[in-house]
Amino acid sequence: MSAVLPPFRKPEESADGPELLQLGSAGSEPCLRADAARNRARLLDAAARLIAEHGAAGVTMEAVAAAANVGKGTVFRRFGDRTGLLTALLDHSEKKFQAAFLAGPAPLGPGAPPAERLRAFGHASLRRTVDELDLQLAAEPAADRRFRVPAGHVQRRHVMLLLQLALPGADCELLAHTLMGYLNAVLVHHLTRQCGMPLERLENGWNDLVDRVTSTQG
């Protein structure tokens, strides 16, 4: 059974275009030496595996230290506390996801037709959300901030740009909001955990939605 995660620190808000984002405060993570950066990534990968295998309850400082084969003090020095670790974990996951859809291989990254990239984006987003659902639910912002957090802005803008390529002249800003609603962690939680829907059905539904939205047939 997954434990309730602590509240996340609020990320800095920005209206800038699609770049890789640091979700924590700007001064919280100074530039790291190559070996320190590798160690940090190893700790975060260990924490991600624990969430995937055991849910949120598996993410303790002690468990992450053991999974990464380092001392517990190393984890505390790097992240401060469990909330800092979880915030860094979501930041790490978001950066990898953004790198994949902005510059990774097709069809998620550049090089495929826009509708195909949209389908790949939805599949990757759904799989990521299912894998780290407790973490994303803990980070879910309040209603007055839900559409202003930087990570959501980058993803929504990416979807909007793909829609503009597929549907010139359409109101792609509103269509992007509609498509992103399908991928919201709260809805994914309801459909998968409360309704028992398999991920495959959500992925097929996403394909159908993208095909219907981008179809130019009357």
Q: What is the dihedral of CA 8, 99, 45, 51, to 10 degrees?
A: 50
The pLDDT value given to residue 144: 86
Task: Judge contact between 70 and 39, C-beta under 8 A.
Answer: yes
pLDDT at 5 over 60: no
Task: Judge contact between 5 and 81, C-beta under 8 A.
Answer: no
Least confident among 36-40, 99-103, 192-196: 36-40
Quote helix, strand, coil % in the chain, to nearest 5: 65, 0, 35
The pLDDT value given to residue 10: 45
Interatomic CA distance for residues 117 and 102, integer angstroms = 11
**Percentage of the chain exceeding pLDDT 70:** 84
pLDDT-derived band at 92 (thresholds 50, 70, 90) equals confident
Q: What is the dihedral of CA 11, 39, 31, 155, to 10 degrees?
A: -40
pLDDT in tens, 123-170: 999 999 998 898 888 778 888 888 888 899 999 999 999 999 999 999
Task: Judge contact between 46 and 64, C-beta under 8 A.
Answer: yes
pLDDT-derived band at 189 (thresholds 50, 70, 90) equals very high
Residues 6+ apart with CB under 8 A from 159: 118, 121, 176, 179, 180
pLDDT at 1 over 60: no
pLDDT at 90 over 90: no
164 vs 38, more confident? 164
Residue 169 main-chain phi, psi, to 5 deg:
95, -15
The pLDDT value given to residue 139: 79
Peptide bond connecting 18 to the previous residue in cis, omega within 30 degrees of 0 = no
Mean pLDDT of 88-103: 93
Calculate the CA 175 to chain-centre distance: 20
**Domains of the chain, CATH where assigned:** 31-80 (1.10.10), 82-214 (1.10.357)
Mean pLDDT of 95-120: 97
